[in-house]
Chain A
Amino acid sequence: MDTAITNILLVGVGGQGILLASEILSEAFMLAGFDVKKSEIHGMSQRGGSVVSHVRFGKEVFSPVVPEGQGDILFGFELLETYRYLSLLKPGATVVANDYKIAPPSVLLGQAVYPQALPEKIKATFPDFLLVDGQGLALRAGDVRAANTVMLGAVSKRLQIADAVWQQALEKMVPKKALEINLKAFAMGREL
């Protein structure tokens, strides 16, 4: 993959910890010796809105934003948001999604229903689809807040980066007191 660039999109709802997850990914790619660029929007979108973070790595990366229809991996923290951004992917891309739902405002108000059978719909377009019980596994690792790390573990298996690099990135980015649980959560995700 000399000149090839890998394009990763992290999507979910503002407040879910997407920025931290994309920081850990970027850190790992840098430690593995790649050029890395990352882009996202702060500010207004953080108030419970839909959030997309772009992470790109390879030998030399120009644009910080993943070109439309060029996404290789979609890393979804919430089901509806995972489905919403499928159009950013190239055919045959990988989708790893947390089996977790947050109702958008129109659903909360009873004016719309949360779309049904999203995993089936995603799988029909992207056969390389992994649905993860992020919250359940994180609880088993010791803290439900480590759900994103379970997801990172699941995504990590699809990237050619050594265990030691992931460990180093987590040690740098995760607060010390939460490190043990997060390492455990990561390992559980990596086994999926």
Chain B
Amino acid sequence: MKEILSGNEAFARGAYEAGCLVASAYPGTPSTEILENVINYKEINASWAPNEKVALEVAIGASFGGARALACMKHVGVNVAADPLFTASYTGVKGGLVLVAADDPEMHSSQDEQDSRNYARFAKVPMLEPADSQECLAFTRLAFELSEQFDTPVMLRSCTRISHGKSLVELGERVSGLPAPKLVKDAPKLVMLPGNARVRHPMVEERTVKLSEYGDSAAINRMELHSSEIGVICAGVTYQYVREALPDASVLKLGMVWPLPAKLIQEFASKVAQLFVVEELDPFIEDQVKAMGIACQGKELTTLCGELSPGRIQAAFDKAGIIKVAASEAIAIEPVPPRPPNMCPGCPHRGVFYQLNRANAYVTGDIGCYTLGFMPPLNAMDTCVCMGASISMASGMVRALPPEEQKRVVAVIGDSTFLHTGINSLMEMAWNKAPATVIILDNRITAMTGRQENPASGFTLSGDETSMVNIPELCRVLGIKHVRVVDPYDLDATRLAIEEEMNRPEPSVIITNRPCCLIKGADRFEKGKVLEVDQGKCTGCKACLRIGCPAIEWKPNPDGNKGKAFIDPQLCTGCTVCQQLCKFNAIGGRK
């Protein structure tokens, strides 16, 4: 019986079938659903970590204890987890250790499109790259086996189209008979001091040679021989695009993208007149093939930026005169208004950004739903680099500025991002007395990735009640003297807090206390009384439109007179922020 699974569901299934016992992750698109599906398998102890470094270390610890263990993250998460990754490459494993890194070519939901394959080479660990959900399952199983066979962490590379694509999968059974976890003293392998590490490093180099030889005959690297004219080396979702775009071409499909199977590549090259490498982002395979002394073309044809597709590959090969594609009739449409994402109606962040804009703040931002605060009409975010950077960047920025400019610097960060990597930044700011203001938008959830629990939400991944970080107390023990909590639905109180703290020549923190309006349940979001605009009182001043709430619509008057605002009762949550902006008392409870 087949099932239709997403790549992320199949990674989770693969971990289950492989006998994995411990899994850890920090949410990040497009990797989030892996762990959310792992919890369907009660045999696996699965939990969110506060960040990716911790997630990988949890998995390394479980592996050293003898269990098969999984860590999952998005591509930029690997930057955070890089420190343990590089040394775990030297220690190797006890139980199998697998790290899924999900890339996001085209940056559908990311701040950069770095190519994780470089990490495999850099950290000297093997990397497998599945091309559909069936391979996500099979390669996860294989990754655990290879991890133990070659004594190495194994990386699995996914991408948005694999993780969030669905295809048919044949399920298998969970393996049994794996050794039971137990403590084993093994300092030469597990204590990476210089003396031990110097012994391990040559073993790592030797391992890479052996893995390359394994790849020469492994079934996951396969030749599909068709035409002897054109041969294409490809992997992952790009393989699917190539098969569709160039159905007559011979293909070397690589299931293992690091290390590369040198002999197999030589053999494939000898069978075709023209050799190409088609890959998204970096010329990772191409550079190595060229370094082997094999002539091929790659980035001469396809782009370094964004995703490929069957159409883009055909266009590239057509342009280079290699194939001929019949021109298709383009369908022209008139330009229409764009529809970018927006903060939800009732979002507790909206009033804060409105007041930051009015206070002429220069906002160092961070990663989350609130990054949307940069968009009009709020226009209240000025920087966004990476998780946790808002606070440390504000701390650095004030040092560079004259006193009157220092006041304007406000860092804005969400609860989950603060707990991810913002704590160290705030410690630095307090310690070095940087007079910036920090706003922690505590909506008690990791909202942007689909509402995952975090260490301040009071629940675990499985929904069990647990300890809850007290964010105001945490800020105080880090050394911040001025910590205040404000209701972001109260515009006057929010304005007052922002003005006072911006004017204070000392480090200070404002924490907002309203939950995300998408989280349901007791003690969480409660909908207020739905509001409406009294059309008799509305003067058409547009003050309520300045918060950019999707529930408020401007309706122009067909007679050419001034239009009026309307509130969609289906969307309004009764947060009252627009009501507080109306000077004419035209907004009130719906009758």
- Which A residues fall within an 8 A CB radius of B? 13-14, 23, 26-27, 30, 35-50, 61-65, 67-70, 80-81, 83-84, 86-87, 89-91, 103-110, 112-115, 121, 125
Check if A44 sits within 8 Å of B29, measured CB to CB: yes
**Closest Cβ–Cβ distance, residue A114 to chain B (whole Å):** 8
Do A36 and B168 form a contact, CB below 8 Å, given A62-B243, A64-B240, A107-B337?
Answer: yes
**Closest Cβ–Cβ distance, residue B168 to chain A (whole Å):** 6
Which of chain B's residues have a CB closer than 8 A to the CB of A121? Answer: 333-334
Partner of B341, one of A36, A48, A90: A48
The reply to whether the CB of B554 lies closer than 8 angstroms to some CB of chain A is: yes
Interface residues as binary, B327-361 with A (CB distance below 8 Å gives 1, 0 otherwise): 01111111011111111100000000000000000
**Closest Cβ–Cβ distance, residue B555 to chain A (whole Å):** 8
**Closest Cβ–Cβ distance, residue A5 to chain B (whole Å):** 9
A-B contact pairs, 26 of them (CB 8 A): A35-B167, A35-B168, A36-B166, A36-B168, A41-B160, A42-B109, A43-B30, A44-B29, A44-B108, A48-B341, A49-B339, A61-B167, A62-B240, A80-B339, A86-B333, A87-B333, A91-B331, A104-B337, A105-B340, A105-B548, A107-B553, A110-B542, A110-B545, A110-B563, A114-B337, A121-B333
Chain B residues 114-135 with CB under 8 Å of chain A are: 132
The reply to whether the CB of B369 lies closer than 8 angstroms to some CB of chain A is: yes
The reply to whether the CB of B241 lies closer than 8 angstroms to some CB of chain A is: yes
The reply to whether the CB of B4 lies closer than 8 angstroms to some CB of chain A is: yes
Partner of A109, one of B237, B450, B548: B548
Q: Within the assembled complex, what's the spacing in Å between the Cα atoms of A41 and B369? A: 16
Q: Within the assembled complex, what's the spacing in Å between the Cα atoms of A130 and B520? A: 37
Interface class of chain B by DSSP:
loop
Q: Within the assembled complex, what's the spacing in Å between the Cα atoms of A38 and B161? A: 9
Interface class of chain A by DSSP:
mixed
Q: Within the assembled complex, what's the spacing in Å between the Cα atoms of A5 and B266? A: 35
Q: For the side of the interface on B, what is the size category? A: 35 or more
Check if B545 sits within 8 Å of A108, measured CB to CB: yes
Chain B residues 512-570 with CB under 8 Å of chain A are: 542, 545, 548, 550, 552-554, 556, 563
The reply to whether the CB of B306 lies closer than 8 angstroms to some CB of chain A is: no
Check if A48 sits within 8 Å of B342, measured CB to CB: yes
Q: Within the assembled complex, what's the spacing in Å between the Cα atoms of A86 and B335? A: 12
Q: Within the assembled complex, what's the spacing in Å between the Cα atoms of A30 and B167? A: 9
The reply to whether the CB of B309 lies closer than 8 angstroms to some CB of chain A is: yes
Check if B331 sits within 8 Å of A39, measured CB to CB: no
**Closest Cβ–Cβ distance, residue B420 to chain A (whole Å):** 17
Q: Within the assembled complex, what's the spacing in Å between the Cα atoms of A94 and B4? A: 26
Check if B241 sits within 8 Å of A80, measured CB to CB: no
Q: Within the assembled complex, what's the spacing in Å between the Cα atoms of A114 and B542? A: 18
Do A91 and B341 form a contact, CB below 8 Å, given A62-B243, A121-B334?
Answer: no
Check if B337 sits within 8 Å of A112, measured CB to CB: yes
Which of chain A's residues have a CB closer than 8 A to the CB of B556? Answer: 110, 113
The reply to whether the CB of B164 lies closer than 8 angstroms to some CB of chain A is: yes
Which of chain B's residues have a CB closer than 8 A to the CB of A45? Answer: 108-109, 341
Check if B4 sits within 8 Å of A109, measured CB to CB: no
Do A104 and B237 form a contact, CB below 8 Å, given A30-B2, A42-B29, A42-B450?
Answer: no
**Closest Cβ–Cβ distance, residue B162 to chain A (whole Å):** 8
**Closest Cβ–Cβ distance, residue A55 to chain B (whole Å):** 9
**Closest Cβ–Cβ distance, residue B584 to chain A (whole Å):** 18
Which of chain B's residues have a CB closer than 8 A to the CB of A80? Answer: 336-337, 339
Do A63 and B341 form a contact, CB below 8 Å, given A42-B30, A84-B336?
Answer: no
Partner of A104, one of B334, B338, B375: B338
The reply to whether the CB of B396 lies closer than 8 angstroms to some CB of chain A is: no
Q: Within the assembled complex, what's the spacing in Å between the Cα atoms of A105 and B309? A: 30
Check if B554 sits within 8 Å of A110, measured CB to CB: yes
Q: Within the assembled complex, what's the spacing in Å between the Cα atoms of A164 and B59? A: 46
Q: Within the assembled complex, what's the spacing in Å between the Cα atoms of A47 and B550? A: 10
